[in-house]
Amino acid sequence: MNYRDELLRAFNITTEDLTANRAGRLGAAQQRNLLRSGNWNVAAAALICLLLGAIMYGVASRPLAPIQWILAVAMGAAVLATGFVYFHRTRTAVAEGRVECLVGPVRAGSRGRSGSYLSVSGQVFPLPVRPSYIQQGAAYRVYIAPRTRSIVAIEPAGGSQ
């Protein structure tokens, strides 16, 4: 398996997706991946909302005072709203189907528990794969879904590697 195939597998995409990216479009697997990501955002927001409610209920003295109810509802609404904003962004990105390409040397790294990042053309993006897949300082074509600012594919900028 060559390096390009390893990257395709790491991103869970096919050569057809990469061909679509070169034409400025999202591939079918990338659309599914983005939709799945949006669904997980809503599910995570709902789970966080439930956990906040459980913590509030477990810690606060009963009966709950009106301000406690107001705070619980406000926190829950903020978390759910954030989840739905990300959900809407992923749906819009898929409907739009557009991909932007940034080309240049990259730098990948890890921010501890914050996850991994990739820097290209003066911009920084969350990296959805381990930084070890990326050759530091090498030139890549990095395909971005602009609505979500997420990397959907990466390929070496030179000939096939």
pLDDT in tens, 107-145: 999 887 778 999 999 999 999 999 999 999 999 999 999
3-state secondary structure the chain: CCHHHHHHHHCCCCHHHHHHHHCCECCHHHHHHHHHHHHHHHHHHHHHHHHHHHHHHHHCCCCCCHHHHHHHHHHHHHHHHHHHHHHHHHHHHHHHCECEEEEEEEEEEECHHHCEEEEECCEEEECCCCHHHCCCCCEEEEEEECCCCEEEEEEECCCCC
45-64 confidence digits (pLDDT tens): 999 999 988 888 888 888 88
Give me the mean pLDDT over the 24-42 stretch: 96
Q: What is the pLDDT of residue 35?
A: 96
Mean pLDDT of the chain: 92
**pLDDT attached to residue 159:** 57
| Tens digits of residue pLDDT in 58-115 | 888 888 888 888 988 999 999 999 999 999 999 999 999 999 999 999 999 988 777 8
Instruction: Give residue limits of the domains in the chain.
Output: 3-24+99-156, 31-96
